[in-house]
Structure 1
């Protein structure tokens, strides 16, 4: 199977209402990727969102939602980056042009020719995996492995626009490690780095819903974008997050307040975006709430009303 360091093996999703086509394509491609199959367009959309496949082999003619409709729906998803290859019995230039206009990277025709199918799919599979690998390098923090500030800036604007269209509540949590400088000064920078890695791991494990984005905002500060989350839900999440660090019980020997473990202070805010507001205001409100948590003695979560 095709693999890249840190990426694992490639994933291919076959969306076709013909079981025979599924079996033929699976047999042709099973030695280059992990294969999954969907029987119709609606199932294909759900599986694509769950699996994040590198390549989708999408039948054009299907009952219900056809291949072009599936392609359009998937292309509207913010995080969608799979390579779509249409599977069709049509060989005319008109169908080829339409496939490319709909966003496909290529197409394969029926009846299937083993060498051509395998060569074309392999090429797009490897290209997509390489693109994922490079994006990970650009968008992830080298120390902690979570997303970096660059990715946060992109995603908060993207999620803001998406929630504006849906008129749904978007929330943000800003998290700061309490007394981190004292931790660094007393135990050394290597221990400080290990502490930040442990914090990032705890935040990642605690972010369980699809779409929640954990980022290192800078230094010992982290941020979590919380899609479709109300203010009440955000505050409960922040309080629960503080409990997770209490359970983590990472020793902190240099705190002036006598608390023996590493804790975090959290500021949260939430709003339904409008054309008269912007994402930067959400960040500013959550950041202000974070400073309120610090002033209240740390190791707590505070919710800041949007616009305050």
Structure 2
């Protein structure tokens, strides 16, 4: 009785005898495998394989142009990493060394001629199970890869703002430090703090506070267009922007751009002397060397941020060497 599961199987029959070829196709159609693919030469078989990527190949060991063993080798060489095609040799050779040759060439099983319908059905059923296992394995692998990518993204992304988190910031700062050290280029860091944020939260509530941080993060991300520029949530209402190959003057310009863009949002803040949300920015730059560390750059930017706050907030202060 034909199996509905067989209907999804794609089977290629490679046989130079038209009589045997027709008989095998009839057998397969009785098993529920509609329209089996056919080829009468080795070259034709390779063309069909490239075009159709069948699940199972019934492969005559002796063909008029290229023998089946060579065809099996070429098919295995053409398979993609996640592909597997079941190859069953059709042969009248019964010597052990011939069978070993077929398996070594890339075959998975063999059928002795003349071919019995009962035995063929059993072999196809066994290979069908293996094909289904392969498909499930590929699907599971894809799902695991997608899950791992998502876990990686979550582990390096701040859940509230969607930009890099502190862990990612630390990793990328070290990476940029080393890159700029090799290139003998300056590395700049901008530290950004939302002014009077506690008062904002107390006045407008935590949901509004979260929306405020998201708006600031969006402006930070917009200010990091190069692949090496990284905007991160450093902690609480504090953000950081890593700017590789950037002098202090350029970093100060970027910081002022961020500060102005956030001020232009006009997010109401009645407990701020500015009456809207503002940020203070501290900027530092250094040419990395063995005599300094990334932590020194962070401390310098932090100190500059402290100066910006001391000088009245809603401003940028910079330190460079």
Question: What does 1:177-192 correspond to in 2, within 5 Å?
Answer: 177-192=194-209
Cα distance change, pair 274–115 in 1 and its aligned pair in 2 (3 A): closer
From 151, 154, 166, the equivalent of 1:137 is 154
CA deviation map 1:140-163 (0-9, x unaligned): 112222111122122212221121
Q: Does 1:116 align with 2:79?
A: no
CA deviation map 1:194-220 (0-9, x unaligned): 211111122112222222111111111
CA distance in 2, matches of 1:284, 1:26: 61
Task: Report the Cα offset of residue 125 of structure 1.
Answer: 5.3
- Please state whether the residue corresponding to 1:260 is helix, strand or coil: coil
Instruction: Name stretches of at least 5 consecutive residues in structure 1 with no aligned partner.
Output: 1-23, 29-90, 92-107
Task: Report the Cα offset of residue 26 of structure 1.
Answer: 12
- Please state whether the residue corresponding to 2:320 is helix, strand or coil: coil
Cα distance change, pair 302–213 in 1 and its aligned pair in 2 (3 A): same
Structure 1 window deviating more from structure 2 (204-213 vs 217-226): it is 204-213
CA deviation map 1:114-139 (0-9, x unaligned): 94399698776555433221111111
CA deviation map 1:32-52 (0-9, x unaligned): xxxxxxxxxxxxxxxxxxxxx
Q: Does 1:252 align with 2:275?
A: no
Cα distance change, pair 26–143 in 1 and its aligned pair in 2 (3 A): farther
TM-score, with length taken from structure 1: 0.59
Question: What does 1:1-308 correspond to in 2, within 5 Å?
Answer: 110-112=77-79, 115-116=83-84, 126-255=143-272, 257=273, 259-306=274-321
- Please state whether the residue corresponding to 2:193 is helix, strand or coil: strand
CA distance in 2, matches of 1:150, 1:280: 14
Would you tell me which structure has more helix in proportion to its own residues?
Answer: 2
- Give the paired residue count: 203
Cα distance change, pair 175–115 in 1 and its aligned pair in 2 (3 A): same
CA distance in 2, matches of 1:212, 1:281: 19
Instruction: Name stretches of at least 5 consecutive residues in structure 2 with no aligned partner.
Output: 1-48, 54-72, 86-133
CA distance in 2, matches of 1:121, 1:178: 51
Task: Report the Cα offset of residue 229 of structure 1.
Answer: 1.1
Checking the alignment, whether the CA contact within 8 Å between 2:186 and 2:246 is kept in structure 1 is yes
CA deviation map 1:152-200 (0-9, x unaligned): 1222122211211121111100000011111111111221112111111
Question: Which structure has the larger Rg over C-alpha atoms?
Answer: 2
- Please state whether the residue corresponding to 2:78 is helix, strand or coil: coil
- Please state whether the residue corresponding to 1:116 is helix, strand or coil: coil
